[in-house]
Chain A
Amino acid sequence: MNWGEAARILALGLPNTVVITLGAFAIGLVLGLPLALARLSRWSALNGPATIFIEIVRGIPPLAWIFVTFYGVGKVVGRLDPVFTAIASLGFVAIAYMAEIYRAALQSVSPGQLAAGRAIGLGDGSVLVHILLPQAAVLAIPSAATYCIGLLKESALASVIGAGEITYRAMLLTDRTLHGLDVFAIAAVLYVALSVPLAIFARWAGRRFGAHFRRRTA
């Protein structure tokens, strides 16, 4: 079996893997924040449903969400595109996970910052927008990058509904060549190669912003 040829065939799935990962991450990045704010809200009408939503979404395996979307929603609106289904369902799960990451970040902003903002006469909204969010966003970067690596690996689940990403192509190639050992090893290398830049960024961000944060609150 020709490794170069196999790698070339698997790499055809690379764009879909990247699109699914980044698409789902973008959904979580944007919609996770309002959910985190709802979770932290003083009103139980907001934080109750938000908490339940987060717990249930995280309590059910992502594979189940993919199937529910593909077969359930697909039954109502007609056959869904597998890549779209993967982005939508993994993105849906990402909202809950990102909300928890934002929540942890918001809660680790020093309470003195809040008090100081109020003391100089800022309202709740201004404190949130000008003081809490900018600091929390920076604090959330390392965990968010780590979560993005997790999503990269979860994008492999899209292969079960036939999205033509790396794992799906590896399955097809294994069926054809019966060289699963080589094929899945190459696929593993591709995933690691994709995750390395993210991992380096996460580690660097953890050091950089972690230290930044510790210095300021010490």
Chain B
Amino acid sequence: MFSYWAEWLPSLLGALVTSVTLTAGALAIGLPLGVLIAITATASQRSIRYLVIAFVELGRGVPALILLYFMYFGLTQVRIRLSDTVAVMAALGLNCAAYASEIFRGALETIPHGQWEGARAIGLSRRAIWTYVILPQMQRNAVPPIIGLSILVFQTTSLAMTIGASDLMGLAANIGSVTFRYMSVIMLAGLLYAAVSIPASQVAGVLQRRRERRPAQR
């Protein structure tokens, strides 16, 4: 079972880079969108708030695979043909935005109300309050769960294989179908996923504990 691993490893490592790129693309869409949604959710108009909640619940309630098929197979119905890379980044990006917005909203809620009042009292504009007071403080609370979310997005890029992309899982399935050694090659690909995920989650754990030990100096 292991004798082929050395032979497969170089090409699988190449595919791992593809998977990491897909993850980066999805995060580049999802995280800014998530911040935007979290900020919008604080809007005073009720209609805007409900719209945001509906988007978040939809993004979290629909399986990532359905979103991906919607982007890749569904949009062809209206003559929009996305490449597999774009479809994966867009689908996982939207999915990620919904989860990220909840994380940012949670981080926002931990900021004491006095921060807002103080900032307003010294005459900062709404924009300046967000940029210089609120967002920097949100950041430290949001980082550990965002790393956790990124690991999840990374693992979810494995769905790319279902639309024929050559990500880590896609290439492994390809090798499997040529060599009929599915079990062996998918185990190796799985271990490569774990080799990225496990250290990343350890880092998130360390950051989380450090944050809990030393609460914000206010």
Contact = CB atoms under 8 A, between A and B. Distances in A.
Interface stretch (B3-11, B31-39, B56-64, B131-139): B56-64
B77 A181 contact: yes
Contacts of A60: 155, 190-191, 193-194, 197
Contacts of B66: 156, 167, 170, 184, 187-188, 191
A111 to B, nearest CB: 16
Interface in A60-78: 60-65, 67-68, 71-72, 75
Interface in B109-168: 155-156, 158-159, 161-162
B84 to A, nearest CB: 15
B155 A75 contact: no
A58 interface: yes
B25 interface: no
Interface residues of A, number: 43
A26 interface: no
A63 B70 CA distance: 19
Nearest to A198: B61
Interface string A164-182: 0001001100100011111
A67 B168 CA distance: 14
A186 B162 CA distance: 20
Given A157-B65, A167-B65, A180 B198 contact: no
A148 B214 CA distance: 33
Contact of A56 (B57, B77, B176, B194): B194
Contacts of B156: 61
A195 B193 contact: no
Given A184-B70, A185-B70, A71 B65 contact: no
A81 interface: no
B28 interface: no
A85 interface: no
Contacts of A153: 61-64
Contacts of B159: 63, 157
A59 interface: yes
Contacts, number: 125
A180 B190 contact: no
B92 to A, nearest CB: 13
Nearest to B196: A59
Contacts of A180: 69-70, 73-77
Nearest to A146: B60
A184 B91 CA distance: 13
A188 B70 contact: yes
A218 B117 CA distance: 29
A160 to B, nearest CB: 6
Contacts of A56: 194, 198
Interface in B62-110: 62-67, 69-70, 73-78
Contact of A191 (B62, B169, B189): B62
A183 B161 CA distance: 21
Which of B65, B182, B191 has its CB near the most chain A CB atoms (within 10 A)?
A: B65
B76 to A, nearest CB: 6
Interface of A: 55-56, 58-65, 67-68, 71-72, 75, 149, 152-157, 159-160, 167, 170-171, 174, 178-185, 187-188, 191-192, 195-196, 199
A-B pairs with lowest CB-CB distance, top 5: A72-B183, A59-B194, A71-B182, A180-B74, A156-B63
Given A72-B182, A159-B65, A181-B75, 7 more contacts: A60-B191, A64-B190, A67-B176, A72-B187, A180-B76, A191-B63, A199-B57
29 contacts: A55-B198, A55-B201, A56-B194, A59-B193, A59-B194, A60-B190, A60-B193, A61-B155, A61-B190, A62-B155, A67-B182, A67-B186, A68-B182, A68-B187, A75-B182, A75-B183, A149-B61, A156-B63, A156-B66, A157-B159, A170-B66, A171-B69, A178-B76, A178-B77, A180-B70, A181-B77, A188-B58, A188-B66, A195-B61
